[in-house]
A and B are shown apart, each in its own frame.
Chain A
Amino acid sequence: MNPLKDIQKLAEILLSLTEGKSPKEKEKIIKDFLLVLREKNKIHLLSKILRELRKMERKREVNLFLAKKIDEEIKKKLKETIKRILGKEKEIKIKIDENIIGGFLVKSENFLIDASIKGLLNKVYGHLRTS
């Protein structure tokens, strides 16, 4: 067996078990998981599993940057659209960043949708400088 695949699988199992559970339930699941690991003499894999988990989290994470707080209604619509484009399983985090001036900016590990005023101005600046 490929040890790397093993670790990936363990991380996936842990994630799927804890999904949608309350904090208390989560704690119990994690404790059980650790017990199983110890029983199977696999406790040394823990740090690797953690790293894998973090990687998976990064993959799922999508940051939505906004210049200021906006209506819940618009927020909901935005989230829906982002999920439609980037995939359902994404976890959208909203961050407020005044530096983007206006509009919004969607950033995940591999993709970027720049609909901010800052990005627009930068584009115009870049174009005018070269032409």
Chain B
Amino acid sequence: MGTFELLKKEIEKLELKPKMEEIGEVIEVKDGIAKISGLSNIENLEIIKFEETNIEGAVINLEEDNVGAIIFGDFSKIKEGDTVKRTKKVISCPVGESLIGRVIDPLGNPLDGKGEIKTEKFYPLERVGPLVVDREPVNFPLHTGIKLVDALVPIGRGQRELILGDRITGKSSLAIDTILKQKDEERRPICIYVPIGQKESKIARTIEIFQKFGAMDYTIVVSAPASSPTSFWYLAPYSGATQGEYFMDKGKDALVIYDDLTKHAYAWRQVALVLRRPPGREAYPGDIFYLHSRLLERAAKLNQKRGGGSLTALPIIETQEGDITAYIPTNVISICDGQIYFDSSLYLKGQRPEVNIGLSVSRVGSVAQTKAMKKVAGRLKLELAQYMELEHFLKFIEEVDPETRKRLERGRRMMEILKQEKLQPLPFERELAIIYAGIEGFLDEIKIEEIKNFEKDLLKTIEIQKPEIFKIIKKSKDLDLATKVELDKMIKELVKRYASAKGD
């Protein structure tokens, strides 16, 4: 009886009066795409529903007598003649604080089995980036925890910095390290990681890393794995940007990582070809530039009037055989405010991370650095440039004068200092301490093989004996004279210890 009553109650709640609905009919189904006749009043980017199978889709092609739609699901179930209904909603996804720590698909459905996501707000996936009047120049650093990046190619909040390189060169690792590093930031940005077309096993491993380091407390993963429909690959970056924009609009900082946009371009190429749009260079459709530019324009630093929030974008692009002049890499390079180029030949030379310093730039430059880092990194750049030039020449010359030799030795030590293993992002003040030690020439007497140990010892000794040094640098973000003297003392003591150990 109870069940019957319950059912009756539920059914009474229903609006069962017949209504006039706007419909269409499937006339063609291709890979992930359906062509539909009818639906003459439909808007672009509107969600549609396939009546018989309950699968949804979105209209992306309006033509004279039919519309083209991408299908969010198993397109093999959709048949010719199926009825399609309008929903009068544009593609949107839920946003809000309750999504933090969750793994979702591009439409906001949970993928982590932690139950329903409760939010009231929905944002459309396609939004126009903030206007010029709402923006201000990038002025606050976003630390990656990688010495080389923070010192030489600094990233600011609201910047778009491209990470590119061949496969398996540690591009994703840099992105993951950056997310892990945000854990100890004072003004911690909400991180959004968007894996596109990656293996599910790899995504699972990444999420496990986030959990292990406690990074899921401030991270959203918008996942479009290799097995998901192409439409999801296409939508995932926009969905990630939407998640970030919610926090930016609230005056907070957000960081979104698109891993990677090459797959995104592949997905759009596939959709466009199936839709019979004219193929252009490398068979990409004509709007492939706009595809990425409208996405990356959404990254911004808002001015104080708009709340002062920011959305930083770190897109990743995979190159083939180190060719950064291919179509998609050049497109995205020109859109972004700089790039970090991973060179696989440097990996073989033992450099970690294998970033090519000469080809990597940040157009925002030192405004995205703290005062302390500016003081140290300015000279580092110069020293390294000279070192690299000298090393080039050294291939032809055997004997060098003592002055040049000194430069070379210092350069080699600096390169050694900049080496860093994966999953070990350093707090900013520690990066600073070791780079300072190198640039001031304190390490000239230490053997190159000893540098890594020296770094560890130095950081440990300061931590134990004079933790104030770190605290002051972290707080003031500057390296004042008093702290400098203290730091000098610590470094000199340790150098002395190393020298005497060598003497034994």
Contact = CB atoms under 8 A, between A and B. Distances in A.
A36 interface: no
Contacts of A110: 22-24, 38-41
Contacts of A85: 20
A113 interface: yes
Interface string A106-129: 010111111100011001101110
B21 A131 contact: no
A55 interface: yes
B18 interface: yes
Contacts of B40: 109-110
Interface residues of B, number: 23
Which among B14, B83, B85 has the highest number of chain A CB atoms within 10 Å?
A: B14
Contact of A111 (B7, B13, B21): B21
B37 interface: yes
Given A55-B65, A107-B23, A128-B10, A112 B16 contact: no
A110 to B, nearest CB: 5
B19 interface: yes
Interface of B: 7, 10-11, 13-14, 16, 18-25, 37-41, 54, 65, 83, 85
A113 B65 contact: no
Interface residues of A, number: 18
A119 B24 CA distance: 17
Contacts of A55: 65
B18 A113 contact: yes
**Lowest 3 CB-CB distances: which A-B pairs, in order?**
A115-B18, A112-B23, A112-B21
Given A110-B23, A112-B83, A113-B18, 19 more contacts: A109-B25, A109-B37, A110-B38, A110-B39, A110-B41, A111-B22, A111-B23, A112-B21, A112-B22, A113-B19, A113-B20, A113-B21, A114-B18, A123-B16, A124-B11, A126-B54, A127-B10, A127-B11, A128-B7
A85 B20 CA distance: 9
7 contacts: A85-B20, A109-B38, A110-B38, A123-B16, A124-B14, A127-B13, A128-B11
Which among B11, B23, B40 has the highest number of chain A CB atoms within 10 Å?
A: B23
Interface string A85-105: 100000000000000000000
B59 to A, nearest CB: 14
A126 to B, nearest CB: 8
A110 B13 CA distance: 29
A108 B320 CA distance: 52
A120 B17 CA distance: 9
Contacts, number: 47
Nearest to B17: A115
A109 B25 CA distance: 8
Nearest to B85: A112
A111 B83 CA distance: 11
B86 to A, nearest CB: 10
Contacts of B13: 127
A69 to B, nearest CB: 21
Contacts of A109: 25, 37-38, 40
A20 B38 CA distance: 27
B37 A111 contact: no
Contacts of A131: 10
Nearest to B18: A115
A105 B131 CA distance: 49
Contacts of B39: 110
Contacts of B16: 120, 123-124
A52 to B, nearest CB: 10
Contacts of A112: 20-23, 83, 85
A127 B20 contact: no
A112 B21 CA distance: 5
Which among B18, B25, B40 has the highest number of chain A CB atoms within 10 Å?
A: B18
A127 B18 contact: no
B493 to A, nearest CB: 70
Contacts of A120: 16
A118 B144 CA distance: 59
A123 B20 CA distance: 15
Interface string A53-76: 001000000000000000000000
Contacts of A114: 18, 21
Contacts of A128: 7, 10-11
Contacts of A113: 18-21
Which among B20, B25, B83 has the highest number of chain A CB atoms within 10 Å?
A: B20
A11 to B, nearest CB: 14
A126 B83 CA distance: 16
Contacts of B25: 109
Nearest to A103: B18
Contacts of B14: 123-124, 127
A110 B14 CA distance: 25
Contacts of B65: 55
Contacts of B24: 110
A107 B21 CA distance: 10
A59 to B, nearest CB: 9
A107 B51 CA distance: 14
A50 to B, nearest CB: 15
A115 to B, nearest CB: 4
